[in-house]
Structure 1
Amino acid sequence: MISLLLVNLDQTIVATALPRIASQFDALTQAAWIATAYMLTLAGFMLMLGQVLTIAPAKYVYLCSIFVFEVGSLICGAAPSFNVLVFGRAIAGCGGGGVVNSVLVIIAQTTRIEDRPLLYGILGGVYALASIVGPLLGGAFTDHVSWRWCFYVNLPFGALAIAVVFLFLPSRPALGSNNEESLNQMTWYRRLDWLGGILCLGTVVSLLLPLQWGGTTHPWNSPVIIALFCVFAVVLVAWIIWEWRRSKAAILPLMLFKRRSQLGATLESFFIGMGMLNGTYYLPLWYQAKGQSSTSSGISILPFMISLITASMVSGGMIKFTGRYWHLLVISPLLALVGSVLLSTLHVDTPNSHAIGFQILYGIGLGGALQNVFIAVQAEWAKEEHMVPQATTVLTFGQVTGGVLGIAIGGTIFSNQLEKNLHVYAPDLPANLATAVEQSVNAISLVEASMRPLVLRAYTESINRVFLLGIPAAALASLSGFLVRNISLKGSDIAIAVG
């Protein structure tokens, strides 16, 4: 619980601090990298770490992963430049992926499947708690101490988690493996899909870079952007072919997707992740553009976070009681879709009561499906336990990748729209001040009072376009839920109600 809180906190604590951090380094248009660098390595190395968990005890994978996470946090806190900060975030992401995967495997090893819905509801609550505490802590540290404490705070709690797990968590063999064979020093490294791991990372990076740079660092039709998309297509095809050849020895066994529940849950996890992090990062920016401090913007998005944590825990209790999860996977994203539509209508003069209502609806929709996809997949593979580590890792990979792409696409949409809208609504704004406003939300206070409403309109309309991304994401998440089989968790045999 402590370690998951830390890893998830690292995704959200910079949400309210991000504008101030990027502004200090004069890099607001590149601010998304503070989030995406962490998410990129979290996704890029996640599948490899999932394969490691099939041959090594989860306890030791966990301990190594959280140590790497702590090192990355230390680098971020001491970063003298924007590039070093991004590097530290990437290191922390490498460790964070191992922590999340290890915890999911430990749960599968130590609990009955019929008891997991409530447990996953609590874990969803931990995730949402991090979403609540993170923006508040990030804002408080940024306003009253230093944004660097957004990263230093991980060090003492991470050390506590390492000590507790090392002393009290028993070491168990990897799920479904022969422990002596899997840990043989002469053979373990041969079982890892090294080339698959490299191709996976290459696929994620070659897709993320053009999405991040397009329209900001380089025009969309520039040779650099076109070349990167071409590289992505080639590497993706090469990765799929290689994974197909590796079969069960791949970091992404394609045979998993012969089960429609696995395919549907993975797609839904991807689209929920895309919608989740866009709300987390761009709601605070909307409030800060209106003049709120980092701390105040963290308080202002509490309705979104509280509704998400409540929906996650209540839905877990419902599944525990009824034994059914399918309806939640289909219906919950539809609420998020309506919430996205409403959020895209926000403007400078929107009453706060309306904004709160929109946030609550959006949070309930996301929270109802966020963790329950894991129940669907673990029910699918309940009689083949050796598949659980990689099956759940694929879900986490989908959720993180969706978040990475959501933030990257959202950042590109915001940057392009802001530059365009400043020319439309504030054409008389001096060029140097327009550049400052594009780089730092704090620069809005430097704009003359007569022109400030025009600049605020440009900001809010630019953020509105980002919220539109949640509409197709939520719709596709709901459609993906139809692929998942409706399995009853009641009884030890996990009877299939709908084939």
Structure 2
Amino acid sequence: MPLEQYHESSAERRHRHLSGAESENAVTVSDTVQPSIDGVADDLEKTTKIKTEDNSQEYVSGVKLGLIVVSVSLACFLTVMDISIISTTIPKITDDFKSLVDVGWYGSAYNLGSAALVPLTGKMYNHFNLKWTFLVFFLAFELGSALCGAAQTSAMLIIGRTIAGLGASGIINGSFTIISTSVPLEKRPPFIGACMGISQLDQVIGPLIGGAFTTGYTWRWSFYINLPLGAIVAVPLVIIHIPEQIAKQSPLRVLKASTVFSTLSASPCLHLIGLFCGAGLNAVVWAFWNRHRGDEGLIPTSMVQRRIAAISSLNYGLFMAVVFGGVFYLPIYFQAIKEKSAMLSGVYLMPNILPQILTTILTGVLGKTHIQPSFSQSSLTCLTVPKVGRIPPFALFAAATTAIGSGLYGTFQPNTSTGKWIGYQILAGVGQGFGFQMPLIAIQNDTKPEHFAEATSLLVWAQYVGPTIFIVAYNTLFTSSLRSEIPKHAPNADVEAIVAAGATEFRKLVSAEDLPAVLVAYANAIDHVFFLVAAVGVLAFLAAFGMGWSDIRQKPAAPGTSNDDGSSSPAQA
């Protein structure tokens, strides 16, 4: 479950600062309209006015609100699905483009584009028009999807994935910001919950949709499908007025020199221009500039300096790298070794995905902790974390079971039984479900409410950076292992031809006598990847020890203050 779903809007945070604490400002409702789509026809034109001592907030209601929530929820669904839908299409893509060596970039390019702008998106929504900024991000995502669908080369597909990732970087954050500015705080949870629930469906249907398109028609429709659905997202948002809850300056005044410099310093464009030397120099310059800006920088220094925030982000980046290892290489195993269709490879991922969803629900809401209610998902979690009261045991369990499951994937061979690959996926899936939300809970339990957005942004950034780095490492290990394993098991086979052929087409180039040996070599190469995935899981396990051992069932004496070990200081009840 991507953590963007938990990201509190910068606009909402700034508004709380401007309008003051709720205990000091009396709020009266002058014209309250229930957010029901069954409302009377007047609701089409009606808005809700909430009066405070010093300003007036405008909200949306009725059918308009329903259309907004549906639109942003669908936008979240499309951007998150773009991560999982490609997993079952990759083997066929490698066949068409003869690009097995580029497998890692098909996933990393999307994450790299997202990671480049995630720290900046909150500030953009805080300074520029909310609706049009969101639509610009969504247009970039749609453009990238169109390029991916029309790609004639592997490089063109990678460029399209990067552009789509740049657009996706602001869609999740923007969706929750739009909901936050359209709905009063007390009515917000069901709308946020609906958006989150719709987004979570991608875990199940993403691989299935990708496999169905690839098997029944063409993998290109895994990307083209975003275009007609994107029109459903864009049209209501263009037509409906979305209120702004804070005063914003002219865009030209916002784009002052320091902002432009910070933006360019974080941009991948300079990385490309300078290549490796330019990237290194740019990173150093940006680091000094970000430190100079302090909490106004793209990555607030106060968050990085907090041990729990930094280590929890490290844990999550490593953890997501483990998850992506399974998502990308299990379908290759099923299609290349087991000779299953793309559709069936998606079905065969269900033993991993369904336990993820179940255990995520069981750990998603801490009803007795001091996490804000807007981050809740299900009261079922009162059966789990509150009973223990500490985050690391769950994070350690998650990392351990995920690492063990990934290591067991490394035993897969052409003759591996169905019971083994189902059982190992269930084990890893249970661990992954427990691990998705632990870093978020740890950070929010250690952070003042006014800093939740910055802390969560750091976590979101780590979520993208971890897989970006390790997916490329996985693919490098896979191709190098394949080149070394084939000569050992099938000395008469053409190694380079097999590597260039793609994940399933290589069967056509190998004689019937050599095929069993080549399949063993292929399986061994995939196994090496899973061993590396397991090693990354061990690193996540070690990082989990530093996520703060304070009891989250006790109310902190001073939110955001830390003990000497970096954990929050709980007060006695």
Q: TM-score range by the shorter chain?
A: 0.7 to 0.9
- Are the equivalent residues in 2 in contact too, given 1:117–1:317 (CA < 8 A)? no
Asked whether 1:311 is paired with 2:374, we answer no
Structure 2 residue aligned with 1:343: 409
Rounded to whole Å, the distance in 2 between the matches of 1:390 and 1:275 is 25
Structure 1 residue aligned with 2:253: 187
Alignment deviations for residues 151-203 of structure 1 (CA, whole Å, 9 cap, x no partner): 11112222223345566795343xxxxx33x4333431228644344343459
Asked whether 1:301 is paired with 2:349, we answer yes
Structure 2 residue aligned with 1:64: 136
- Are the equivalent residues in 2 in contact too, given 1:273–1:401 (CA < 8 A)? no
Bigger CA radius of gyration: 2
- Which amino acid is the alignment partner of residue 449 of structure 1? A
- Which segment drifts farther, 155-164 or 254-263? 155-164
- Are the equivalent residues in 1 in contact too, given 2:104–2:475 (CA < 8 A)? yes
- Which amino acid is the alignment partner of residue 395 of structure 2? L
Structure 2 residue aligned with 1:266: 313
Rounded to whole Å, the distance in 2 between the matches of 1:413 and 1:111 is 51
- Which segment drifts farther, 96-105 or 263-272? 96-105
Rounded to whole Å, the distance in 2 between the matches of 1:415 and 1:391 is 37
**With CA pairs under 8 Å and 6+ residues apart, which has the higher RCO, 1 or 2?**
1
Structure 2 residue aligned with 1:455: 518
Report deviation, 1:30: 1.7
Structure 2 residue aligned with 1:442: 505
Structure 2 residue aligned with 1:218: none
Asked whether 1:96 is paired with 2:171, we answer no
The structure 1 residue matched to 2:484, chosen from 410, 416, 420, is 420
Shift in alpha-carbon separation, 1:288–1:276, aligned structure 2, 3 A = same
Report deviation, 1:361: 1.2
Structure 1 residue aligned with 2:228: 156
Structure 2 residue aligned with 1:257: 304
- Are the equivalent residues in 2 in contact too, given 1:32–1:408 (CA < 8 A)? yes
Asked whether 1:8 is paired with 2:74, we answer no
Structure 1 residue aligned with 2:22: none
Shift in alpha-carbon separation, 1:132–1:23, aligned structure 2, 3 A = same
Asked whether 1:472 is paired with 2:535, we answer yes
Partner of 2:406, secondary structure, is helix
Structure 2 residue aligned with 1:79: 151
Partner of 2:203, secondary structure, is helix
- Are the equivalent residues in 2 in contact too, given 1:488–1:494 (CA < 8 A)? no
- Are the equivalent residues in 1 in contact too, given 2:102–2:154 (CA < 8 A)? no
Higher helix share: 1
Report deviation, 1:270: 0.6
Structure 1 residue aligned with 2:96: 24
Rounded to whole Å, the distance in 2 between the matches of 1:342 and 1:128 is 27
Rounded to whole Å, the distance in 2 between the matches of 1:66 and 1:339 is 36
Segments of 5+ residues of structure 2 without an aligned counterpart are 1-72, 368-378, 561-566
The structure 2 residue matched to 1:38, chosen from 94, 100, 110, is 110
Aligned residue-pair number:
469
Structure 2 residue aligned with 1:135: 207
Report deviation, 1:233: 4.7
Structure 1 residue aligned with 2:431: 365
- Which amino acid is the alignment partner of residue 390 of structure 1? E
Shift in alpha-carbon separation, 1:83–1:498, aligned structure 2, 3 A = closer
Question: For 1:390-401, what aligned pairs fall within 5 Å after superposition?
Answer: 390-401=454-465
Rounded to whole Å, the distance in 1 between the matches of 2:541 and 2:240 is 40
Alignment deviations for residues 186-229 of structure 1 (CA, whole Å, 9 cap, x no partner): 431228644344343459968xx9xxxxxxxxxxxxxxxxx976
- Are the equivalent residues in 1 in contact too, given 2:146–2:227 (CA < 8 A)? yes
Partner of 2:251, secondary structure, is coil
- Are the equivalent residues in 2 in contact too, given 1:243–1:252 (CA < 8 A)? yes
Alignment deviations for residues 333-371 of structure 1 (CA, whole Å, 9 cap, x no partner): 221121122111212221111111111111221221213
Question: For 1:108-147, what aligned pairs fall within 5 Å after superposition?
Answer: 123=196, 129-147=201-219
Shift in alpha-carbon separation, 1:379–1:267, aligned structure 2, 3 A = same
- Are the equivalent residues in 2 in contact too, given 1:44–1:204 (CA < 8 A)? no
Shift in alpha-carbon separation, 1:436–1:188, aligned structure 2, 3 A = closer
Rounded to whole Å, the distance in 2 between the matches of 1:120 and 1:373 is 20
Structure 2 residue aligned with 1:212: none
Asked whether 1:488 is paired with 2:535, we answer no
- Which amino acid is the alignment partner of residue 157 of structure 1? L
- Are the equivalent residues in 2 in contact too, given 1:192–1:249 (CA < 8 A)? no
Alignment deviations for residues 117-174 of structure 1 (CA, whole Å, 9 cap, x no partner): 9978983x6565313212211111111111110011112222223345566795343x
- Which segment drifts farther, 194-203 or 7-16? 194-203
Report deviation, 1:77: 1.6
- Are the equivalent residues in 2 in contact too, given 1:71–1:92 (CA < 8 A)? yes
Structure 2 residue aligned with 1:55: 127
- Which amino acid is the alignment partner of residue 316 of structure 2? S
Rounded to whole Å, the distance in 1 between the matches of 2:269 and 2:430 is 33
TM-score (norm. length: structure 2): 0.73
- Are the equivalent residues in 2 in contact too, given 1:68–1:91 (CA < 8 A)? yes
- Are the equivalent residues in 2 in contact too, given 1:489–1:495 (CA < 8 A)? no
Shift in alpha-carbon separation, 1:364–1:168, aligned structure 2, 3 A = farther
Asked whether 1:280 is paired with 2:327, we answer yes
- Which segment drifts farther, 283-292 or 23-32? 23-32
- Are the equivalent residues in 2 in contact too, given 1:203–1:232 (CA < 8 A)? no
- Which amino acid is the alignment partner of residue 283 of structure 1? L
Question: For 1:166-245, what aligned pairs fall within 5 Å after superposition?
Answer: 170-173=242-245, 179-180=246-247, 182-190=248-256, 193-202=259-268, 233-245=280-292
Shift in alpha-carbon separation, 1:286–1:434, aligned structure 2, 3 A = same
- Which amino acid is the alignment partner of residue 14 of structure 1? I
CA RMSD of aligned residues (A): 3.4
- Which amino acid is the alignment partner of residue 265 of structure 1? S
- Are the equivalent residues in 2 in contact too, given 1:108–1:388 (CA < 8 A)? no
Question: For 1:366-405, what aligned pairs fall within 5 Å after superposition?
Answer: 366-384=432-450, 387-405=451-469
Rounded to whole Å, the distance in 2 between the matches of 1:204 and 1:120 is 39
